[in-house]
Structure 1
Amino acid sequence: MSVTLAALALLAVFLLLLVLSVPISVAIAISSIVTALFFLTWEQVVFIVMQKMNSGLDSFSLIAVPLFILAGNIMNNGGIAGRLIDLAQVIAGRIPGSLAQTNVIGNMIFGSLSGSAVAAAAAIGGTLHGREKDEGYDPAFATSVNIASAPTGLLIPPTTAFIVYSMIAGGVSVSALFMAGYVPGILMGLVTMAIAYVHARKAGYPTSPRPSLAEAGRVTLRAIPSLLLIVVVVGGIVAGVFTATEGAAVAVLYCLVLSLIYRSMSWSAFKEVLLATAATSGIILFLISASSALSWVMAYTGIPDAISAAVLSVSGSTYVVYLLMVVVLLVVGTFMDITPAILIFTPIFLPMATELGMDPVHFGVVLVFSMCIGTMTPPVGSVLFVACSISGVTIEQVTRRLIPYLVALVALLLVVTYVPALSTGLPSLMGLM
């Protein structure tokens, strides 16, 4: 069977199962098995696929994934969001449309701490929704700001997206990836703030009252313990004090201590957090397991090399190939969540990117940034649906407001793609690359 037929068989079975509403992890496993059967016997396929699925989870680094999820869930239920919102409002209070600006800054801070765009959209957007409604904000505008800024936490570390990518990419430094995400993540937030500022000025949205120096100091002091999590975890990982997995364990312990100090989470709520973490972790880990089998099938059939050769044959220009790669990733992001997209498309595009001279750290940032934009768009945009359900705004109503943000963020993605220093500058400066 040729590589083309193998690729078509894999794609056809996978899409058919998705149309039939089969969970994506199961669809990946079944399509991998069906494709492998064209080349090997049933006994060989069962043995090898099971072996690859098992070995795909045999990684110390993967323990960080459920631990960071647990830390994020504790933060989401442990009274931390309110303190961060108060700090964000002190920072953004004098900017027109200050509550919208507070939403952006709050999402940047909380999203980076929790590592979840959905958690940020729910916690920060949910808290600010009532205040924005009381001050006369257009619900569609407020929701669009929440949607556009929530994914910043997927780039600003600590984030599980980079940990998953590091594992699939063959041991790319997690510390380097964490540092590489800072500048693009912050730029993403600033671009969102700039667009919100322009709209707020036109609409005449108010600024918040200037807080007294004592009030600003009190709010900052209340938020410092939460902010120290970034210093402890990211600083410890980058300094080599502990690994990403050990840093995730430290994050869990730190969040538990904060929750006990704040007395904001009951025992029953903690049990619910553990159950939610177990459910989410099980989904992600099985997805990683199934994707390990898929990666082996693609490598065995030569699909990544064939796709790379096809794309490179379109043009000899590196810039054109980068553009094609980004377009494909953006399209993929609209149909697939970030974790399966990283698992499936890293083996396909990373070899091609490195062949063109793109550093694996740089490619990781481009990949995650592309998937961030995908979380904002239908049909699978998780942040889009969560933010709309919180505010009660329909997708049709928010889409028009969201277009300027999407255009600006795609433009920023292209800048990040074509200017490697925005991603690699900080980790290189710190001696991590």
Structure 2
Amino acid sequence: MSVALSASLLILVTIVLLLLMGIPIAITLIIASVLAITQSLGFSAAFPSTALKMFQGINVFTLLAIPFFILAGNIMNKGGIAIRLINLATALTGRIPGSLAHTNIVANMLFGSVSGSGTAAVSAMGTIMSPIQKEKNYDEDFSAAINIATAPTGLLIPPSTALITYALVSGGTSVAALFLGGILPGILWGVSCMLVAYFYTKKKGYVDKKSITSKEFMKATLDAIPSLLLIIIIIGGIIGGIFTATESAAIAVVYSLVLSTVFYKTINFKELYSILIESAKLSAIIMFLIGASSILGWVMSFTGIPSMMADMILGISDNPILILLAINILLLFVGTFMDLTPAILIFTPILLPVCLALGMTPLHFGIMLTFNLCIGMITPPVGNILFAGIKVADRKLERVMPQLLKFYAAILIVLILVTYIPWISSFLPSLAGY
């Protein structure tokens, strides 16, 4: 048995057994990696080597962007941003049949992109929109499904910590290019759900069209502009070469802090302290997970697992369409039981070489990978956005799932387009010179 095959089997069996035992994913990855590398290096060299690789994995300047964006997102989540973006979404969609459903979708896209968190979006929008939709006699399960199905759009529309993580693991794919590349797929995700909502609400008679005066539209737009400027500042600054992605994250913190404490006056010192503690805890969890995954990535590279997996997958068929279909099915399955960040960290080094052999660019693969895994966040049994949305709406999984199925179908159609039409991911980056 080859070193790569024996190491991959040992890693797979160890990870499955430890996860079934309820061991945290980061600890699981470290144990699996150490056991696998001892076959080649022995115990005496395995432990210091893995400790060094873990430190090197998080000792990267680019990773500073993650805690900064987490902090900025938490500040915005509690800083009165959500209601202003909902008002703007209402002004944009108020004349469409079933306008409350469309308001929820557009607001999720706006707030998710500003906060960089799908969980924050589903919680904030659900808290505000669910009572309003209930008052207008919307089916509560359908309302919950709308909110859940569109919350992940903010993980594709920048700024996105998921894309920053992929940029690091993929060996230096441009963060700016990934940010631009995620915009159209994220918008298409939202638009596909809007089409589903339009036909459903029209069939059910939810014609709650609201006439928006030009004065109301202008007020909603002006109120939301300071929040939306964050996206423009981040993307414009990175593309213009004014600052790096990491520096943009620090600017996002300062901007959101000034916006919430001085401009909107919605956060006081006591609340800021709790936000800092919460952000520090979440950042520590993610950084520890990245460190653990960096060990696994090094072990796989050392033992030749990615090359072996690439040869196996490419040996199944010489048809790129079928291979990409198989990769999508694999990622959709992985996303149902594994969170976004560890899945990116584990499967990028395995699948990226395969996709590069098919002629796919690292940018295109990164968007396809993230899109797939975002679907997993709204899919049982693990999907954290799914369960957060159900909790906020106070509904039951078995009642919301039938309503979600129609949205799954629309989102999967967009996934197929993103997979087989590279232009969707590459148009804006190429337009900006990436």
TM-score (structure 1 length as normaliser):
0.98
Q: Aligned runs of 1:58-77 on 2, under 5 Å?
A: 58-77=59-78
Residues 197-221 of structure 1 show CA distances to partners (whole Å, capped at 9, x for unaligned) of 1110111113242122111111111
Name which of 400, 403, 428 aligns with 1:401: 403
Name which of 314, 318, 321 aligns with 1:319: 321
After TM superposition, give the deviation of residue 303 of structure 1 in Å: 1.2
Q: Aligned runs of 1:377-416 on 2, under 5 Å?
A: 377-416=379-418
After TM superposition, give the deviation of residue 125 of structure 1 in Å: 1.7
User: Letter of the aligned partner of 2:95 in structure 1?
Assistant: R
- Partner of 1:277 in structure 2? 279
- Partner of 1:370 in structure 2? 372
CA distance in 1, matches of 2:305, 2:60: 25
CA distance in 1, matches of 2:293, 2:67: 17
User: Letter of the aligned partner of 1:406 in structure 2?
Assistant: Y
After TM superposition, give the deviation of residue 54 of structure 1 in Å: 0.3
CA distance in 2, matches of 1:85, 1:147: 16
Task: Give identity over the alignment, percent.
Answer: 47
Name which of 260, 264, 267 aligns with 1:265: 267
3-state SS, counterpart of residue 205 of structure 1: coil
1:106 equivalent to 2:107? Answer yes
- Partner of 2:236 in structure 1? 235
User: Letter of the aligned partner of 1:196 in structure 2?
Assistant: A
After TM superposition, give the deviation of residue 66 of structure 1 in Å: 0.1
User: Letter of the aligned partner of 1:105 in structure 2?
Assistant: V
How many residues were matched structurally?
A: 432
CA distance in 2, matches of 1:403, 1:30: 38
CA distance in 2, matches of 1:96, 1:276: 40
3-state SS, counterpart of residue 109 of structure 1: helix
User: Letter of the aligned partner of 1:231 in structure 2?
Assistant: I
Q: Aligned runs of 1:28-427 on 2, under 5 Å?
A: 28-260=29-261, 261-427=263-429
TM-score (structure 2 length as normaliser):
0.98
Task: Give 5+ residue unaligned stretches, structure 2.
Answer: none
3-state SS, counterpart of residue 393 of structure 1: coil
User: Letter of the aligned partner of 1:253 in structure 2?
Assistant: V
3-state SS, counterpart of residue 38 of structure 1: helix
After TM superposition, give the deviation of residue 39 of structure 1 in Å: 2.1
Which is worse superposed, 402-411 or 74-83? Answer: 402-411
User: Letter of the aligned partner of 1:92 in structure 2?
Assistant: T
CA contact (8 A) 2:340 2:373 kept: yes
Residues 152-199 of structure 1 show CA distances to partners (whole Å, capped at 9, x for unaligned) of 001101111111111111111111111111111100000010001111
CA distance in 2, matches of 1:18, 1:239: 44
Q: Please provide the CA RMSD for this pair.
A: 0.9
Task: Give 5+ residue unaligned stretches, structure 1.
Answer: none
User: Letter of the aligned partner of 2:272 in structure 1?
Assistant: F
- Partner of 2:10 in structure 1? 9
CA distance in 2, matches of 1:126, 1:29: 38
User: Letter of the aligned partner of 2:172 in structure 1?
Assistant: G
User: Letter of the aligned partner of 1:10 in structure 2?
Assistant: I
CA distance in 1, matches of 2:210, 2:405: 31
CA distance in 1, matches of 2:123, 2:241: 33
